[in-house]
Amino acid sequence: MTVSEEEDNKCDRVMARRFVIRQEAPVERHHLSIDYAKELNEQQYAAATAQGGPQLVVAGAGTGKTRTLVYRVAYLVETGAPPEQIVLLTFTRRAAAEMLSRASALLDGRCRRVRGGTFHSFCLGILRQHAGRLDYPNNFTILDASDSADVIDVIRSGLNLRLDRKRFPRKRTIQSIFSSVRNRDMSMEDFVEARYPQFLEFVEVFEQLGAGYERYKQDHGLMDYDDLLIKTLRLFSEHDDVRRSVATECRHVLVDEYQDTNRTQALLVERFSSVHGNVMVVGDDAQSIYRFRGADIRNILSFPEMFPGTQVLKLEHNYRSTQRILDLANLLISRARNKFDKRLFTERGLGETPVLVHATDSRFESRFVSQMILTLREEGVPLSEMAVLFRNGFNSYDLEVELNHRGIPFVKYGGLKLSEAAHIKDLLAYLKVVENPMDGVAWNRILQLLEGIGPKTAHQLISWIESASDRAFEIDESRFSPRYIEELKRMFAMLRYIRSADVPITEQVEVAVAYYEPVLRRVYYEDYPKRIQDLEHFVGLAEGFSDRAQLLSSMALDPIELTALDTETEVDDEPPLVLSTIHSAKGLEYRNVFLIRALDGVLPSSYSIGDADALDEELRLLYVAVTRAADQLFISYPSVQYRRSDGQYFTSPSRFLVDISEELLEPGSIVEESPDQTSDDRDETARAFRGLPSPSDSSS
């Protein structure tokens, strides 16, 4: 590690460093097993076979971005890059896995060893190796957003704030403020002033809380999502030898969805590629939809400045959608305040005009969607080639009931995650304290599940556990109240067993579940059967992991959708219909797309009204939804909705959709045939909906 030192001082401005890379000798085409020029269009070919150096690929929706990246990986491997030195950073684990399996299929598995994943998981791997350099134990545990909020809550109660009846923000809000500030290079004060002016008086308290939060994590071996990125960056700047050795192993860095990276991620990309200088980022400024989480559109716009010598490539030929869908998409995006001078074109033909369907209420909307889906399936469209999209996870509850009722199998992406359900969090907490006995949040959770232990006692017990870390999991009977001592002993016995060597991970989970089940029955006496089912699924899931640490980090970084489990167990041969938030549908395509709840206040979200930038992002979100559709797009909205406070109320359709000409977006209404007109009148499904009205029946 001393070798590096004399060079270090010369180049402390890492950002400006430029490396000249000798280009690899051009490879003649007949040596390659894939005919890239034939498989790709001219623009895609240029991107896939580009030589080293920084490359920015601006790719509109449906222009074969994924395909290009897949061929890029194959090309790099074929032309001699060691697969394990190619790093493919994507937005979700799912995306990485899909791309790598497609690339592997092209080259008989030779791409298997390509490293791929999210920024967070890639950084986790680096940190696990070098945590010691940051005074962290290498078995540090990861806090998800609600764990962080719990830590913040602990700090807050420790601070003994005198609030004189002023409303202090909820722990969740504070957590998101902290995260936003750290992801944005902004001062706490500026951010709070801009986003939460009502809390401006608390800025000092926030600063104090934030400092306490950082200290607590450091002292207890905990990292939150932001730490995974920020601490990696810090590791690199404080230990240049680490930066160099990591970057040496990153011969080619490929980044998907670059428009949704934040400042930290952009800096990480720069560090990763700081030895070889081969970095290709792919993105579409029109599809930037993660501003709320710190994504900075300037990353993609100023990429060429950050990486001098960047070659910019564009993909504009859309292969996904028919022209009428693109016409609508182009119109929508042209109304964004920041105009994007990109116009998608297709050779797929005109196709069907997108429809805007008005439903009287959400039940009608659900019935319309289910009925159309059944009709389309009868016409030969597989369920899995159709998707229902919506703004918020809970927008599909009505529809889910209807789909269950009709026996239509579905998976939902973007709803509640398995690891976010309270009972799974409880179970994971047992494993977490065993993995990291300093994890006070996890202790707090499981201690309060015992009868007779509330916040105060839990707090005392945790202080005792922390001070006795060497004798952790042993109990000295005399110190504890007889009210809960027996329960406590039972729990510690269970934890000691899980902790003992040579217990396979599945057995650890089984033991924890066996212990936890009676607790669950008591705490969730109202709805425990469903929760017990989830636990059983979870036991099965544990089999896929080699050890506890792996299971825990995977649960934090790659959460499993709660509903995905239900459908997995059904012995349905038919791949299910997809329900998804628009965010989770990013990068995917479907033949038929239903966008439901296209209401003002939902899409655009009521939170964005009054903020021009936020509204713009909602518009891009709509653009993303529209461009998922290949063949047909149905947008629908109910004109009456419920609200707990004032019952039913009238709604208005999304402001983005009201003034669009009927040429581009055809209005439709739902007609219910009276039951006696049909042969099978008792059957609900026999009532036909006419989703696509002929011009004559638009009388209502």
Partner DNA sequence: ACAAGCAGTTTTTTT
Partner DNA sequence: AACTGCTTGT
- Beta bridge mates, 638: 359
165 is catalytic: no
135 is catalytic: no
Among 581, 592, 627, 632, binds DNA (CB under 7 A): 581
- Of the candidate spans 138-146, 276-284, 534-542, 571-579, the one that interacts with DNA by CB under 7 A turns out to be 138-146
DSSP 8-state symbol, 684: G
The minimum distance between CB 333 and DNA, in angstroms, equals 18
Considering the candidates 68, 141, 287, 371, report the single residue annotated as catalytic.
287
Regarding 445 and contact with DNA (CB under 7 A), the answer is no
With CB under 7 A as the contact rule, the residue among 53, 64, 393, 638 that binds DNA is: 393
- Taking contact as CB under 7 A, which single stretch among the options 20-28, 287-295, 332-340, 673-681 is the one that binds DNA? 287-295
Which residue, 87, 7, 21, 68, is CA-closest to 309? 21
Q: How far is CA 29 from the centre of its chain?
A: 39
* Short-list 378, 370, 371, 490, CA closest to 430: 490
Figure out which of the listed residues 455, 504, 544, 667 binds DNA, where binding follows CB under 7 A.
455
30 touches DNA by CB under 7 A: no
Peptide bond into 518 cis (omega under 30): no
User: 67, 548, 620, 628: which one is catalytic?
Assistant: 628
Which CB sits closer to DNA, 291 or 377?
A: 291
The answer to whether the CB of 186 falls within 8 A of the CB of 201 is no
User: Which tokens in the block code for residue 367?
Assistant: 């019935």
Which residue from 527, 573, 646, 676 is in contact with DNA, where contact means CB under 7 A? 527
The beta strand positions in 215-361, using DSSP E, are 222-224, 252-255, 279-283, 311-315, 317-318, 345-346, 355-361
What is the b/e burial string over 382-391, where b = at least 16 CB atoms within 10 angstroms of the residue's CB?
ebbbbbbbbb
User: Closest approach of Cβ 338 to DNA, in Å?
Assistant: 18
Cβ nearer to DNA, comparing 384 with 457? 457
Q: Which of 259, 563, 584, 632 binds DNA (CB under 7 A)?
A: 584
Provide the minimum distance between the beta carbon of 424 and DNA in the complex, in angstroms, as a whole number: 9
Secondary structure of 351-388 as H, E, C letters: CCCCEEEEEEEHHHHHHHHHHHHHHHHHCCCCHHHEEE
Residue 452 phi, psi (nearest 5): 95, -5
Question: Is 287 noted as a catalytic residue in this protein?
Answer: yes
Nearest distance from residue 451's CB to DNA, in Å? 4
Amino acid at residue number 109: G
Does position 406 bind DNA by CB under 7 A?
Answer: no
Of the two residues 581 and 632, which places its CB atom closer to DNA in the complex? 581
Interface map 202-241 toward DNA (x if CB under 7 A) = -----------------------x----------------
Pair 63, 319: CB distance under 8 Å = yes
Number of residues that bind DNA (CB under 7 A): 51
- Residues in region 528-567 near DNA by CB under 7 A: 557, 559
Cβ atoms of 206 and 192 closer than 8 Å: yes
Instruction: Give the C-alpha distances (Å, rounded to integers) separating 582 from 353, 588, 611, 627.
Output: 21, 10, 20, 11
Which one, of 656, 645, 662, lies nearest residue 602 by Cα?
A: 656
**Complete DSSP assignment for 148-201:** HHHHHHHHHHHHT---TTPPPPPHHHHHHHHHHHHHHT--HHHHHHHH-GGGGG
> Which residue, 453 or 626, is less far from DNA as judged by CB?
453
Cα dihedral 531, 532, 534, 540, rounded to 10, equals 170
Smallest distance from DNA to CB 539, Å: 20
635 φ/ψ angles, rounded to the nearest 5 degrees: -110, 135
Q: Which stretch binds DNA (CB under 7 A): 16-24, 206-214, 240-248, 385-393?
A: 385-393
Residue 36 is a binding residue for DNA (CB under 7 A): no
Q: Give least dist CB 593 to DNA, A.
A: 17
What tokens does 207 get? 């600063």
Q: Of 153, 257, 284, 600, which is the active-site residue?
A: 257
Q: Which is nearer to DNA, 47 or 603 (CB)?
A: 603
Among the listed ranges 108-116, 117-125, 298-306, 532-540, the one in contact with DNA (CB under 7 A) is 117-125
Cα–Cα distances in Å, from 550 out to 88, 229, 230, 546? 21, 19, 21, 7
From 27-35, 163-171, 315-323, 350-358, give the range in contact with DNA by CB under 7 A.
Answer: 163-171
Question: Could you tell me if residue 198 is left (phi over 0), alpha (psi between -120 and 50 degrees) or otherwise beta?
Answer: alpha
Nearest distance, CB of residue 425 and DNA, angstroms: 8
CB 36 within 8 A of CB 71: yes
CB of 202 to DNA, least distance (A): 14
| Stretch (H or E) spanning 303 | helix 303-306
* Stretch touching DNA by CB under 7 A, among 101-109, 237-245, 285-293, 653-661: 285-293
Task: Count CB-CB contacts under 10 A for residue 497.
Answer: 16
Is 118 labeled as catalytic in the residue annotation?
no
Q: Which of 146, 237, 245, 384 binds DNA (CB under 7 A)?
A: 146
Among 345, 607, 642, 649, binds DNA (CB under 7 A): 607
How many whole angstroms separate alpha carbon 463 and alpha carbon 443? 10
Cβ of 607: how many Cβ atoms within 10 Å? Answer: 11
Looking at 41, 79, 92, 311, which residue binds DNA (CB under 7 A)?
A: 92
Which of residues 36 and 480 has its CB atom nearest to DNA in the complex?
480
Is 80 or 482 the residue whose CB approaches DNA more closely? Answer: 482
The yes or no reply on residue 271 touching DNA (CB under 7 A) is no
Binding of DNA by 641 (CB under 7 A): no
678 flagged as catalytic: no
Q: Spell out the SS3 assignment of 115-152.
A: EEEEHHHHHHHHHHHHHHHHCCCCCCEEECHHHHHHHH
Candidates 125, 382, 454, 544; binder of DNA (CB under 7 A) is: 454
Smaller CB separation from DNA, 542 or 603: 603
Of 324 and 445, nearer to DNA (C-beta) is 445
Backbone angles phi, psi at 44, to 5 degrees: -65, -40
Which of 55, 63, 65, 385 does the annotation list as catalytic? Answer: 65
Active site annotation includes 43: no
**Main-chain phi, psi angles of 166, to 5 degrees:** -85, 145
299 lies in the site for DNA, by CB under 7 A: no
Q: Judged by CB under 7 A, which stretch of 97-105, 142-150, 279-287, 506-514 contacts DNA? A: 142-150
Beta bridge partners of 256: none
Of 141, 608, 636, 651, the one binding DNA (CB under 7 A) is 608
Closer CB to DNA, 498 or 621, in the complex = 621
- Residues annotated as part of the active site: 65-66, 256-257, 287, 628
Residues near DNA (CB under 7 A) are: 91-92, 118-121, 144-146, 153, 168, 170-172, 176, 179, 225, 289-290, 292-293, 391-394, 413-414, 417, 421-422, 448, 451-458, 527, 557, 559, 581, 583-584, 605, 607-608, 614, 644-645
